[in-house]
Amino acid sequence: SPSCADDKKRRVCYYYDPGIAHIKFSDDHVMVPARVAMAHSLVGVYGMLGDMRRLRTRPATEAEIRRFHSPEYVDLLCDLTPESYANDAALRQKAEDHHGIGGEDDCPAFDRLWKYCRGYAGGSLAAARALVDGASDIAINWSGGMHHASACKATGFCYVNDIVLAINELLGTFSRVIYVDIDAHHGDGVQNAFLDSNRVMTLSFHRYGKITPHKDFFPGSGAINEIGDGAGKHYSVNVPLDAGVRDDVYHTLFEPIVGKAMEVFQPEAIVLQCGADSLSGDRLGGMELSVRGHAECVSFLRGFNLPLLLLGGGGYTINHVASTWCYETAVAVGKEGELPDDIEIPSHGYELMYKNQGNKLHYQTSTATAARKRSSSTEVTKGKVLEHLSQVE
């Protein structure tokens, strides 16, 4: 139960590939992998690297990536470079028409794409193995969490689905795995991969609905009535949210729903995708969580005392992302109470990036002082989701 043994120390392992600092989707892309390097530097300057086992790991192999992704798609990812994309018309056509990659769009063919994919997937696989081995209680890979990728297609900035690979690794040892996704977007790729499985329960909280009369918030899936198929019926859980949801409303839903899911499903391991685009002030998310509100999800799941895999995901205001993942690393090691917020972020190379947030880890959310009325739809959503969960046998 989440109420006891929370002060117990956990063995935490942490994966970081310094190569991530040099990856660029394009000059003006919203997805900035260097945010993970910023988070890593903060974790270092706050003295937490000594509290975790640093994983010795390697990039995922082609064979490991083929365990989920289709042969043609992996062939393409291996061959694709900015040069081959520019010069090989057949390859370019295959990438664009069949595999969601190309142009100036969401998933461009950028330099070192395959290396990037192998790097973050290798991190999530190594993290999953550390939990399987029993060597660690909590394993962290902030560069992972790419929840949209499907077996044969890149979508929504995600090329290789490291989450599906990691869950499959966990399923070799654990009978049931729960996947919780607090990214502002629906975790469609993970849900679809396990849609008819009763060994994986997927639970996504996400913004849902129209952003203009003709356009849905990406990816458009994740309605409350998507509950899974066949043997997996009731094992997909969706919590659609309105734009602007802040800590109070979010946690009116999160603890009761996740608590109920834990109770009816009785998982042996937990995977938490910590997409940071649900934070206030994100360039894409439109939600209003504070750093503490977001991290409360990590503390709550940590409290169940099960093997816990923490992954990154979205997050487009990169100083907010780095602050949050640093604080959540502190939650994992049980030191969040020791992170000083009365002093400015110490000098560590990236300190100038935090100017817009007053140089403090816990920045002020835009609605922190504005009173807003709580919508009755929150109670309706909660009731419907709990009703779905009560049907799990």
Given the rule CB under 6 A, which of 150-158, 229-237, 298-306, 325-333 is the region that contacts ligand ZLS? 150-158
Given the rule CB under 6 A, which of 68-76, 145-153, 332-340, 348-356 is the region that contacts ligand ZLS? 145-153
Instruction: Determine which residue in the list 122, 281, 314, 334 makes contact with ligand ZLS, applying CB under 6 A.
Output: 314
Q: How far is the CB of 207 from Ca ion (least distance, A)?
A: 8
310, with CB counted inside 10 A (0-12, 13-18, 19+), is: buried
Q: Are strands 200-207 and 210-212 parallel, antiparallel or unpaired?
A: unpaired
Instruction: Determine which residue in the list 150, 204, 236, 365 makes contact with Ca ion, applying CB under 5 A.
Output: 204
Q: Binding to ligand ZLS by residue 185, rule CB under 6 A?
A: yes
Name residues contacting Zn ion, limited to 279-338 (CB under 5 A): 314
Instruction: Determine which residue in the list 73, 114, 120, 157 makes contact with ligand ZLS, applying CB under 6 A.
Output: 157
Given the rule CB under 5 A, which of 75-83, 178-186, 262-270, 369-377 is the region that contacts Ca ion? 178-186
Q: Binding to Ca ion by residue 183, rule CB under 5 A?
A: yes
Residue 181 site contact among Ca ion, ligand ZLS, Zn ion, none (CB < 5 to 8 Å, cut-off depends on kind): Ca ion
Nearest residue to Zn ion on Cβ basis = 314
> 3-state SS of the chain: helix, strand, coil percent to 5?
40, 15, 45
Q: How far is the CB of 287 from ligand ZLS (least distance, A)?
A: 12
Placement of tokens 């935490």 in the chain: 12
Cβ count near 14 (within 10 Å): 26
> On the CB side of 96, how many CA atoms lie within 13 Å of its CA?
12
Residue 320 site contact among ligand ZLS, Ca ion, Zn ion, none (CB < 5 to 8 Å, cut-off depends on kind): none
DSSP string, 192-258: HHTTT-SSEEEEEEEE-SEEETTEESTT----TT----GGGTT-EEEEEE-TT-BHHHHHHHHHHHH
Residue among 159 and 304 whose Cβ is closer to ligand ZLS: 159
Q: Which residues pair with residue 212 across a beta bridge? A: 215
Helix (H, G, I), strand (E, B), or coil: what is residue 385?
Answer: helix
Sign of dihedral through CA atoms 237, 389, 144, 361? positive
Instruction: Determine which residue in the list 137, 169, 183, 247 makes contact with ligand ZLS, applying CB under 6 A.
Output: 183
Q: Binding to ligand ZLS by residue 313, rule CB under 6 A?
A: yes
Q: Do 229 and 272 meet the contact criterion of CB atoms below 8 Å apart? A: no
Strand ranges for the chain from DSSP E: 12-14, 53-54, 138-141, 177-181, 200-207, 210-212, 215-216, 236-241, 269-273, 308-311
Q: Binding to ligand ZLS by residue 106, rule CB under 6 A?
A: yes
Catalytic residues: 148
Tokens of 71: 């042969």
Residue 206 site contact among Ca ion, ligand ZLS, Zn ion, none (CB < 5 to 8 Å, cut-off depends on kind): Ca ion
Residue 105 site contact among ligand ZLS, Zn ion, Ca ion, none (CB < 5 to 8 Å, cut-off depends on kind): ligand ZLS
Order of strands, sheet of 177-181, starting from the edge strand that comes earlier in the sequence: 53-54, 12-14, 138-141, 308-311, 269-273, 177-181, 200-207, 236-241
Given the rule CB under 6 A, which of 117-125, 144-152, 344-352, 354-362 is the region that contacts ligand ZLS? 144-152
Contacts with Zn ion by CB under 5 A lie at: 183-185, 275, 277, 314
Contacts with ligand ZLS by CB under 6 A lie at: 28-30, 104-106, 146-148, 156-158, 183, 185, 218, 275, 277, 284, 313-314
